Amino acid sequence: MSALHITLKSLNIDLGFTSTIVVLTILAILAIDIALTKQANADYSSQLVVQTGLLLESDLVVRNVTDLISKKTCLAFYIRTAGTSSVIDCYDVIGGFGTVLRQIGHFKEDAVIIRKIEDTKNKRMCLVAYVATPGTAPAVDCYTVKERFKDNLEITAHLREGDMSVRQISDLGANRTCLVAYVNTKGTAPAVACYPSISRKGGILRQISFMREGDLIVRKIKDPLNKKACMVTYVSTQGTSSNLFCFDEE
């Protein structure tokens, strides 16, 4: 009642029994109206973000979600396994609401599954890497291409150092090179980093530096043909995840 700033005195109604019942009835009607208005607004707001696409590839789920206000569309990735976590990538809508999702390449290397997912309507590509174990989360790196060539996804280099494995994947159709780092231990999750390709030749990966402090391991990996260096970091314990950061280096 205090929120409505309505009192019996302000209504100038006699405080008799009948008048009190009338006032209480009016206040009840106003309270119900406010509650219905709030509920209607909540329902309306929730419809501004909607699912506009779905792709299922074995144990990988990709849901397309569109924000109708910002005109952004997003891809949410997760694995159908216990304790999984999701990853999301958002970008501008250029081909109308919704997406046309398809898988255009995949393979399995050791325990790592690698899939390339494309939104053909908005020219968005995503490289997804994951391991099909409980508690995992996919690693995703997405990029938009202005023009594309014939799709061709292949492994062009492989580096194994200690318990870490790094694979170089060439996405020739999008002119991108991606690195997938994976630590060979139980419950791990991989890492992915993609960058524009300079060379279309076979790849070369080298470890040029290594540091270990306590449980932390840091390795510097060089991709000389594409003039990139990447720092890979992880801890050598079960359930760990590697992390990649790449930068230009001659």
Give the pLDDT confidence of 70-93 residue by residue, as tens digits.
Answer: 888 999 999 988 878 899 999 988
Q: What are the φ and ψ backbone dihedral angles of 40, each rounded to 5 degrees?
A: -65, -40
Distance CA 171, CA 149 (A): 10
- Within the chain, residue ranges assigned H as helices are 17-46
pLDDT for 196 equals: 93
Between 21 and 163, the higher pLDDT residue? 163
Please give the average per-residue pLDDT across 106-117, as a whole number: 91
Q: Would you tell me how many other CB atoms lie within 10 Å of the CB of residue 231?
A: 16
CB 24 within 8 A of CB 18: no
Between 93 and 160, the higher pLDDT residue? 160
> Per-residue confidence at 147, pLDDT binned at 50, 70, 90?
confident
> Per-residue confidence at 114, pLDDT binned at 50, 70, 90?
very high
> End-to-end CA distance of the chain, in Å?
72
CB 121 within 8 A of CB 129: no
Residue 31: which residues within 8 A CB-CB, separation 6 or more? Answer: 4
Burial (CB count within 10 angstroms: exposed 0-12, middle 13-18, buried 19+), residue 169: buried
pLDDT for 174 equals: 87
Token output for 139: 């690693």
Distance CA 240, CA 122 (A): 34
Which of 146-150, 182-186, 205-209, 227-231 is predicted least confidently?
146-150
Residue 113: which residues within 8 A CB-CB, separation 6 or more? Answer: 58, 60, 106, 107, 129, 130, 131, 132
Position 153 pLDDT exceeds 90: no
Mean model confidence pLDDT for the chain: 81
Position 8 pLDDT exceeds 60: no
Share of the chain above pLDDT 90, in %: 45
